[in-house]
Structure 1
Amino acid sequence: MSEPPSTDSVITVHPLPVPTGSRVDFGAQLCNADLENISAADFDVICNALYTHQLIVFKDQASLSPKAQYHLTRLFDPESDVYGHGKAVGAKSVLHPDLKTIPHQPQVQVIGNGHVASFEGLENIQLKHPHHRSFHRDPVPEREDRTATRFYRWHIDAALYGLDPPKVTSLLAVRVPKTENQLLCYDDGSGDVLSVPRGSTVFASSYKMYDLLSEEDKKFVRGTKVSYAPHPYTWMANAKSRPDGLGMVSEGLELERSSLPEIDDSMIKIYPMCWKNPKTGKLALQVHPSAVQELHLEDGSVIDDLEKVREIVHRLQRPGIAPDLVYAVDWDEGDLALFNNHGVLHSVTGSFLPEEVRIFRQCNLAASEPPLEP
């Protein structure tokens, strides 16, 4: 169980407000933090808050330097120092259009939307907010694009090949265009919808996903491991997502092994379906649903029928993204969010016009060790 934080810090922890009727039980705002000068006592409070609340937000951090953002992120795993997806993202990867690296702090990426003349040593860059139309098989009709949206892709920040998943991701909102809300439509036959601020980052608790399972399913996920595709973001480049963003449609469009970059089988990642919280010991059903390829069962058998694998994972995870379990961050400029990348799933939402400029800084570092097993 978590230890009580040090009393030598002035940082205070407050639950994030949630809408009436929400079942969201995670998230906190931390106040009075000087993130350019973090003491050991400060980090004790921050670390305990992160692993207790999974998502923590600091307001008014517009002046935070990329170096300090990197330093704060690295404190959670001092042995790590490489950006979570490595030094390069392949040109065919579905991640390729979304990332710009800060030259003087290469562990920190710039994401957003629109043309930016100059930012942190980057000149004349074009940022592109990920739009679900580029990834979903059946997108929202273009005529409804301003009012309706989807979960772009529920995911963990992780290379899932060669590198272990970062423990923590930090996101700093530098420039945020404030516009009307959008109606997020699951479009999966459930009738589920969710009102979200345009461009909100949404989170769902993987601990809640586990807790919602039947006892039979809990036993199954505790004993099952997931094998991820080699070079998963290139492997899935031609495939398309389900309308709820929780995994892929199986149409045989994944790239064949011979069409992928050179594969080292020792770098293929196989992880438990459940990851243990290092402070509380709670179990999270933590699976990247778009990158799964096989399930390795406790009895030694392997499910390698991709459509069946995806159906199993979707059935297990879908209850955890019910509208009243999703937290949508309404970003203000200067907001810094940190989240437990081993305990939540998250997704981009929304769309922006080309002239709507949005700038965020993101930092996560490939972990120095695999996730904690049950």
Structure 2
Amino acid sequence: MSGIIVEPVNASQPDLGAVLSNIDLDNLSDAGFKVLRDALYTHNVICLKGQSKLTPQAQAELTRRFDPEAMSYGHGKTIDAKRSILHPDLKTIPHQPEVQVIGNGFVAEYEGLKNITLRHPHHRTFHKTVIPDDQDLDHTRFYRWHIDAALYGKLHPPLVTSLLAVKVPGGRTQTLLYDDGSNDTLQVPLGTTAFVSGYTMFDRLSPEQKEFVLTSKIEYAPHPYVWISTAKSRPDGLGMVSEGKEVPLQSLPPIENSADIQILPMVWQNPVTGRFALQIHPSVVRKIHLRDGRVIDDLAEVREIVHSLQRPGIAPDLVYAHDWQEGDLVLFNNHGVLHSVVGAFAEDEVRLFRQCNLAASRPPIGPGSEVLVN
């Protein structure tokens, strides 16, 4: 027996969040790793406390253990594209390029990086409407609900993402506003990462909606994070406002091969539990391919359909807002949850995290695939 203890965070939503204790990552046997993997795919977001000493190399090796054939960072080198909305938010560790540094504030030196200024993504740079400046430190929004994935080229969506909290400012909470006419709000810890379950999102669909998502596919935009760089998001962070402001296709970087445009199932299957997750990156959807061969290519309609499917799944009672403490190592099932950056920091509130995910060695498991559940 491994002796690892797995405790769900919320008994009423056991598929979203668990804390693991009595675990030694430096000496993790195959049996111990199986417990870890089963916990990940059962609870989909797991936290290992007290991992401050974990090196970037060890973090990359642990992340790769979920997919031993995965080699490169999940976004490849596309993260360096200056027009990408992801470019300002990430710094690559020189000696461990699979691992990125994210956070907020000035850091003089860390893991070979010197005199870096980290920028915590703020909704005012991405949303069509914003919270007034005088309310900014007390209120916040979901910045962007997403899957960690390049969604272009030969880079499959990573199976697992790991996040290590190195430095965490604390001491206050914020009121999260949906600002979508629902009056929904959520009290959250400063700088939380918010998670929702794609499995719950699927389970709450009507029978007709389930039939639709099980038989349809999403076509993502080419160079998706450049494509949306001139557009703006909905206030709930769940997709973009349709104003025709996307970068025209002819102004994107060259599309070298039409096969680089990714068309993925709307529903991805869990390899351990067999459950179905509604797993769509709402910001960069472009078309919907239907079972009968028809394609919905009106962008506004595509976005409205996707939003109507996903919005019930981000209701306040379904959100797990992790309360970060220094040394927390969180791993999440990137094929089964959506997550969002949250929070507005003052300039002197320094936050330092390490992130690692690896482009998967296989595409997501869609409905109808032959899956060996283990």
Normalising TM by the smaller chain, what interval?
Answer: over 0.9
Deviation at 1:42, TM superposition (A): 1.2
SS for the counterpart of 1:339 is strand
Give yes or no for the alignment of 1:302 onto 2:295: yes
Give the distance between the partners of 1:336 and 1:251, measured in 2 at CA: 39
Corresponding position of 1:252: 244
- Counterpart of 1:351 in structure 2: which amino acid? A
- CA distance in 2 between partners of 1:24 and 1:285 (Å): 17
User: Aligned partners of 1:31 and 1:251: how far apart in 2?
Assistant: 48
Indicate if the aligned counterparts of 1:248 and 1:310 stay in contact, CA closer than 8 A.
yes
Partner of 1:49: 39
Equivalent position of 1:347 in the other structure: 340
Give the Cα–Cα distance (whole angstroms) in 2 for the partners of residues 23 and 191 of structure 1. 23
Render the CA deviation track for 1:188-217: whole Å, top value 9, x for unaligned: 011100000011000000000000000000
**CA displacement, residues 304-330 of structure 1 (integer Å, 9 cap, x when unaligned):** 000000000000000000000000000
Structure 1 stretches (4+) deviating beyond 2 angstroms?
Answer: 22-25
- Residues 201 and 312 of structure 2 are in contact (CA less than 8 Å); yes or no, is this contact kept in structure 1? yes
Does the aligned pair in 1 maintain the 2:137–2:346 contact within 8 Å?
A: no
Distance 2:110 2:343 in 1: 24
Residue of structure 1 in register with 2:150 after alignment = 159
Residues 134-191 of structure 1: per-residue CA shift (max 9 Å, x gap): 0000011111101110000000000000111000000000000003110000010111
User: Quick one: distance in 2 between partners of 1:256 and 1:26?
Assistant: 38
Q: Which residue identity does 2:162 align to in structure 1? A: S
Per-residue deviation at 1:15? 0.8
In the alignment, does 2:90 pair up with 1:99? yes
> What is the rounded CA distance, in whole Å, between the counterparts of 2:176 and 2:26 in structure 1?
36
The answer for the alignment partner of 1:3 in structure 2 is: none
Whether contact under 8 Å (2:214, 2:266) holds in the other structure is yes
Q: Take 1:36 and 1:199, find their aligned partners in 2: how far apart are those partners?
A: 29
Alignment partner, residue 337 of structure 1: 330
RMSD of equivalent CA atoms: 1.0
Question: Identity of aligned pairs, percent?
Answer: 64
**C-alpha deviation, 1:24, in angstroms:** 6.6
Equivalent residue in structure 2 for 1:84, among 74, 80, 88: 74
Contact 2:173 2:188 in 1 (8 A): yes
The answer for the alignment partner of 1:137 in structure 2 is: 128
- Tell me which of 185, 194, 205 is aligned to 1:213: 205
Partner of 1:363, secondary structure, is strand
Distance 2:225 2:26 in 1: 34
The one of 231, 245, 253 equivalent to 1:261 is 253
Find the aligned partners of 2:147 and 2:50 in 1 and give their Cα distance.
26
Counterpart of 2:138, as a letter, is T
Q: Secondary structure at the match of 2:27?
A: coil
The 2-side partners of 1:33 and 1:126 are apart by 34
In structure 2, the partner of 1:59 is: 49
Matching residue within 7, 30, 37 for 1:14 = 7
Alpha-carbon displacement from aligned partner over 1:10-62 (angstroms, at most 9, x marks no partner): 211111147xxx75742111111111232111111000000011000000000
1:110 and 2:101 equivalent?
yes
- Report matched runs for 1:310-321 at 5 Å: 310-321=303-314
CA distance in 2 between partners of 1:81 and 1:10 (Å): 30
Q: Matches of 2:227 and 2:26 in 1, distance apart?
A: 40
Q: Distance in 2 between matches of 1:155 and 1:238?
A: 18
The answer for the alignment partner of 2:62 in structure 1 is: 72
- For 1:47, the aligned partner's letter is R
| Structure 2 equivalent of residue 271 of structure 1 | 264
Do 1:23 and 1:324's aligned partners in 2 also have CA atoms closer than 8 Å?
Answer: no
Shift, 1:265, TM fit: 1.2
| Cα separation, 1, equivalents of 2:261 and 2:63 | 26
Gap regions ≥5 residues in structure 2: 368-374
Q: 2:370 — aligned with what?
A: none
Q: Give 3-state SS (helix, strand or coil) of 2:302's partner.
A: helix
Which segment drifts farther, 119-128 or 34-43? 34-43
The partner residue of 1:122 within 94, 104, 113 is 113
Deviation at 1:301, TM superposition (A): 0.2
1:37, 1:114 → 2: CA distance?
35
Per the TM alignment, residue 116 of structure 1 is displaced from its structure 2 partner at its CA by 0.4
The aligned length equals 364
**Equivalent AA in structure 1 for residue 239 of structure 2:** G
SS in structure 2 at match of 1:69:
helix
Distance in 2 separating the partners of 1:74 and 1:292: 28
Confirm or deny: 8 A CA contact 2:163 2:329 kept in the other structure.
Answer: yes
Which residue identity is paired with 2:83? K
